[in-house]
Structure 1
Amino acid sequence: MSSPYIVLISGGSRGLGKGLVERYLARPNHLVIAANRNPSATASKSLFDLPKGEGSKLVVVKLDDTVEADAAAAVKDLEAQGIDHLDLVIANAGQASVFPLVRDLKHADLQSHIDLNVFGVLWLFQATLELLKKSKTPKWVTMGSSAGSIGGQQPVPNAAYGPSKAAVHWLTKRIHAEEEWLTSFVMHPGYVWVQTDMGLFSAKVFGLDESGTQQHLLKEGDSHPGMMKVIDEAARETHSGKFWNYEGKEEAW
């Protein structure tokens, strides 16, 4: 059997990240790395019970995206386990915990979103760069959001999460321009929110009842096949430096 396709997914123990871990792990000949802040937690340990495709394997590695040194430490841990390259990195970990108007935005709230949603992605990219270079078909995917769109800005209070996503969108597009060997793009998982813990919390903050939630939020898992299809088909010439949704349509920055 040929060497496995190696995928690293941050925030891999819950929500969108867990769904991606589950689906990549179900494919044959994949080595899936679920990075999360607490590998000893029940949610992390339960990942080992997920079905595995023929020849596929799961690795769980500690990564707290708010700690600058963690991404480099995680890569050293992986290298110590014999992992010498990465084919795909999905920067999925993120935070959306408050939704203020700009006039009410607190420094601490904006900073906490930037720490995870921007610096967490930046540190992960910097730490995995050399392992991506060793892949024949390296891909970098940032989990984005329409909340970070400038041209299609949504008419809702979102002065902490929105700017953090706009910033990480910019960084990902710039990665495309600077790293000509790499396919790098932003992936939007669907509509406004997906029915993950974070999405359901957000919907509750905005006053959506059960009917509104079912109408406006994608069910958790509905977007995964589409996202994976986009990632599978992605090439530098066609996808890199752009903002894609789970249906394979290009979004406006």
Structure 2
Amino acid sequence: MSTIYLITGANRGLGRALVEAYLRRPDNTVVAAVRDATDDTAKALRDLPKAPSSSLIVVKIDMSSETDATRAMEELQSAHSITVIDTVIANAGIAKVFPKVEDAQTSDLLEHFHVNVIGNIILFRAVLPLLRKSQKVGKFVTMASMAGAIAEMEKANVPNAVYGTSKAALNYVTKKIHLENEDIIAFPIHPGWVQTEMGNSSARSFGLESAPNTVEESVSGLMNVIEDSSRESTSGKFMSFDGATIAW
């Protein structure tokens, strides 16, 4: 039986790499959620190599939209006869500015919270009925960041008042999902500081040439942790791609 994954932010960076990796495995149906399905990067997903028994579906989910996620679930059921999702990887997010608290602009805070936090709450509401129908235990995994770890703040005291606060809030939301839904697995996972366009851009903001972790090592680690996750060992914890547990 095919395992069904939904991955947001699927047309670039880490999301695209995850889509590609899951498609290479047999018996997977990958639902690639993208902000603009007409964009060339979204169309290019259809050319990714696939295992003979795996397939790809592209849907539109703009994380700033209040209706896209619900419409995408309706489309999956009506157009593709998909009534179950086994794993959601909520990867989509933005990281545009890195100010001190005193320099943080209201417009930047609202934009980051809308996409990184509220967008994932809207997504969760839409996918929960399908996760609950999984013959396995449905998994809702949010893409976290060490930037949102309050316990780690003194180790890396850098300006991050906008992105970091949004990621800390997403950690809270994901932990709440775990506590409020005993029939699913929910946890945030730190993918590393990855050499994607967004990761390298943020690295340059802090004076580095590039982010330290390769896409390949991040994806491999993420997939292993997600595959091995359980309600008892993983759900409700702040995980790292290398399998370690991170302090909140």
> When the two structures are superposed, what TM-score results if normalisation uses the length of structure 2?
0.96
Tell me the residue number matched to 2:148.
Answer: 148
State whether residues 138 and 182 of structure 1, in contact with CA within 8 Å, keep that contact through their aligned partners in structure 2: yes
Tell me the residue number matched to 1:250.
Answer: 245
* SS in structure 1 at match of 2:20: helix
How far apart are residue 220 of structure 1 and its match?
A: 2.0
How far apart are residue 49 of structure 1 and its match?
A: 1.1
How far apart are residue 54 of structure 1 and its match?
A: 2.4
* SS in structure 2 at match of 1:108: helix
How far apart are residue 45 of structure 1 and its match?
A: 1.0
Tell me the residue number matched to 1:109.
Answer: 108
* SS in structure 2 at match of 1:227: helix
State whether residues 140 and 183 of structure 1, in contact with CA within 8 Å, keep that contact through their aligned partners in structure 2: yes
TM superposition outliers: structure 1 runs of 4+ over 2 Å: none
How far apart are residue 82 of structure 1 and its match?
A: 0.5
Equivalent residue pairs, number: 244
Distance 1:88 1:11 in 2: 15
How far apart are residue 104 of structure 1 and its match?
A: 0.5
Distance 2:215 2:176 in 1: 30
Tell me the residue number matched to 1:241.
Answer: 236
Distance 2:115 2:66 in 1: 10
Task: Summarize the alignment of residues 1-253 of structure 1 with structure 2, pairs less than 5 Å apart.
Answer: 2=1, 4-80=2-78, 81-136=80-135, 137-153=137-153, 154-190=156-192, 193-209=193-209, 213=210, 217-253=212-248
Deviation per residue, 1:160-215 (Å, 9 max, x gap) = 0000000010010011100000011111001xx21111111111222223xxx2xx
* SS in structure 1 at match of 2:4: strand
What amino acid does structure 2 have at the position aligned with 1:22? Answer: E
Distance 1:58 1:82 in 2: 14
Distance 2:240 2:17 in 1: 17
> When the two structures are superposed, what TM-score results if normalisation uses the length of structure 1?
0.95
State whether residues 16 and 221 of structure 1, in contact with CA within 8 Å, keep that contact through their aligned partners in structure 2: no
* SS in structure 2 at match of 1:157: coil
Deviation per residue, 1:6-50 (Å, 9 max, x gap) = 000000010110011001111101100000111111111111111
What amino acid does structure 1 have at the position aligned with 2:96? Answer: S
State whether residues 245 and 251 of structure 1, in contact with CA within 8 Å, keep that contact through their aligned partners in structure 2: yes
Distance 1:108 1:208 in 2: 27
What amino acid does structure 2 have at the position aligned with 1:225? Answer: S
What amino acid does structure 1 have at the position aligned with 2:217? Answer: D
Distance 2:89 2:171 in 1: 14
Percent identical = 48
What amino acid does structure 2 have at the position aligned with 1:155? Answer: N
* SS in structure 1 at match of 2:244: coil
Distance 2:205 2:232 in 1: 40
What amino acid does structure 2 have at the position aligned with 1:101? Answer: K
Distance 1:44 1:17 in 2: 11
| Structure 1 gaps, min length 5 | none
Distance 1:94 1:247 in 2: 21
Distance 2:117 2:16 in 1: 21
